Amino acid sequence: MGDSYNSPGMLEVIEEIKNMHPGIFVHSVHLADETDDDRKAAYFGNLNDQVALVAEQLSNITELRHGFDAIGFSQAGQFFRAYVERYNSPPVNNLITFGSQHMGVSDIPTCKPFDVTCQLARRAALGSVYSTWVQANIVQAQYFRDPDRLPLYLERNHFLPDINAEHDGAPNKTYRAHLEALHKLVLVLFTEDTMVVPKESSWFGSYAPAEDSAEKTVIPMRLQPLYTKNRIGLRTLDERGDLELVTCEGGHMRLAAECWEPIIEKYVGGVLENSHAPEAVLRIQ
C-alpha cells in the first residue's frame, strides 16, 4: 500500500534475492506500467478484476511456466492467495506473505504523512465501507471485515468472504485443491504491527464480535470455521506440516535483514520435482 512495482525499495529487495540465489528469475507484479498508476491501483480498483489481470500477466511469462515461489508484502499476500485459489496457472510452489490481512482488518489502515491518494481512499472507505461503490472501487474496503456487522460484510463484500469460503453452502473445491497444492504456506506476523488490526490477521486470526466479550479478543486461526471445517485447505496444510507461522520483531513491514533474509533463503529458489528451478514473483503494496 503506497508503493509500486519498481520503487527503490522493491528494486533493492529484488537485487538482494538475486544475490542470495544466483541465476534466479524475478518478476515484479504490476497493475500498470506507469509508476504513479501502479501505486494508485493499490488504493483504487476492483480486487476481483485486479487478481484476474495478474493471472493473465503471469500466464504470459515464459520463465514462470514450470512454477514459481510467490512473495506477498502486506495486502499483496491475500491477493496472491486469491490468485492461488482461483487460478494457480502457472502454479505457485511456496507462498510467503509478510504482514498480510488474511482475515481482513477491522480498521482501515492508516496513511503515511502527505500521502494524499491514501488519505482520499481511506476517507471514502470509512465514510461508507459497505456501500456498493466503495466495495467495487476502494481496495482496502474489500478486505474490511467488521466483526460486529458480519451479515452486512458477507452480503456486500465480494472478495474476502469468497477466498475465505465464509458463505453458507459447499465451499469451492477448486479453491481448496489449489491451496492444498502448495508446497509451503509461510505466514509472517509482525509482533508490533499496529497497521493490521488485529495483527493476528496475518495468521488468519480475527476479532470476535463485541457481544461475545466485554473486551476485544482474537479468534485464532485454529478456531476459525474456515480452518475447523477445512473449507479452503488450511487445515490440510497445517496437519501435514506445510503451514509455517513465523514472527518478525517490530512494526508493520519493518523488514530487518535478520528477519526476512533467512525466510527468503529457505523458501525461495528451490528445485521442483520436475528439476526446473522455481522463480520468485514479488509484489509490495
The model's pLDDT over 65-96, given as tens digits with 9 standing for 90+, comes to: 999 999 999 999 999 999 999 999 999 999 99
- Bigger pLDDT: 284 vs 12: 12
- What is the pTM for the complete model shown? 0.90
pLDDT for 109 equals 67
Average pLDDT over residues 9-14: 89
- Bigger pLDDT: 111 vs 243: 243
pLDDT for 91 equals 97
| All domains in the chain, ordered by first residue | 8-284 (3.40.50.1820)
Proportion of the chain above pLDDT 70, given as a percent? 92
Cα–Cα distance between 136 and 48 in angstroms, integer? 9
pLDDT for 3 equals 81
Find the range with the poorest average confidence among 153-157, 164-168, 209-213, 222-226. Answer: 209-213
Among left, alpha and beta (phi > 0; psi -120 to 50; other), residue 204 is left
pLDDT for 281 equals 53
Q: Are 38 and 248 in contact (CB under 8 A)?
A: no
pLDDT for 283 equals 46
Q: What is the pLDDT of residues 204-219, one digit of tens each?
A: 999 998 875 567 899 9
Q: How many CA atoms lie within 13 A of 197 on its CB side?
A: 13
Query: What's the start-to-end Cα distance of the chain, in Å?
Result: 4
Average pLDDT over residues 156-166: 98
Q: Is the pLDDT of residue 275 over 50?
A: no
CA dihedral (206, 210, 213, 215) in degrees, to 10, reads 80
Q: Is the pLDDT of residue 284 over 70?
A: no
Give the chain's mean pLDDT: 90
pLDDT for 120 equals 78
> Which of 26-30, 108-112, 255-259, 273-277: highest mean pLDDT?
26-30
Catalytic positions, please?
A: 74, 193, 252
pLDDT for 2 equals 72
